[in-house]
Amino acid sequence: MAEWTERAELLFKKEGLDNLKNANLLVVGLGGVGSFAAEFLVRAGVGTMTIVDGDVVDMTNINRQLPALHSTVGQPKVTVVGDRLMDINPELKLTRVEEFLSPERALEIVSEEFDYVLDCIDSITPKLNLIIAAKRKRVKIISSMGAGGKMEASKVKVTDITNTVNCFLAKTIRRRLKEVKIDKLIVVFSSEIQDETSLKMTDGSNFKKSFYGTNSYMPGLFGLYAAETVIRYLLKK
């Protein structure tokens, strides 16, 4: 029987596949962006991964999040995503952390052992904590900006945060990072103007004060771009 990595090896070559197998990644946030990014990375052949999320699957997640099915509502996302990743690659060295990151935990969980951190958090405070932790420890990081309120797939790109436009999340993160003397950050963002009519306010729980309506494909596309950036970096390492 052929190896499940056969098609990948044809493209990546053995050296590239070895680089992926030896890589150690941290994915924080397993919603619409992070769940897809984690799966793309594992299917590519990444050998070691830590996934972090304190949330459970909600009925409203079903339209856009990989772990969200009617049968998984109420289950922890780290459980559903983790089980799926292990079914893709039973040899994956997977660590599951079921919690929302506090500032202290962000500093603890980010270490020099990671080759790359994927920030797929959609709340400002935990997002900042993770970015600052990675920057202070000199660990490479890519951060997902706002996929909500957007429809045009062709407007999504990877760039430095200084080049972002038409993204309220990126604008806020850029300003807050400037306050702590951080001016460089690789991000996935969309230059499309957000649909303001899709905004809904929340009770402020889990560091989130509001959210935009989201379609089925934009969060996954953000995850794809994040995963591609990391995979291409690892292949050349």
- What pLDDT was estimated at residue 211? 85
Interval 106-155: pLDDT, tens = 989 999 999 999 999 998 999 999 999 999 999 999 999 999 999 999 99
pTM for the model stands at 0.95
pLDDT tops 90 at residue 201: no
pLDDT tops 70 at residue 83: yes
pLDDT tops 90 at residue 204: no
Cβ(143)–Cβ(131) below 8 Å: yes
Residue ranges of domains in the chain: 6-236
The answer as to CATH 3.50.50.60 being correct for domain 6-236 is no
Which residue in 73, 80, 78 sits closest to 57, CA to CA? 73
Cβ(164)–Cβ(230) below 8 Å: no
Of all residues in the chain, the percent with pLDDT exceeding 90 is 88
Angle, alpha carbons 142-134-140 (nearest 5°): 45
Q: pLDDT band at residue 2, thresholds of 50, 70 and 90?
A: low
Q: pLDDT band at residue 102, thresholds of 50, 70 and 90?
A: confident
- What pLDDT was estimated at residue 164? 98
Mean pLDDT of 27-54: 98
- State which of 23-37, 93-107, 190-204 shows the largest mean pLDDT: 23-37
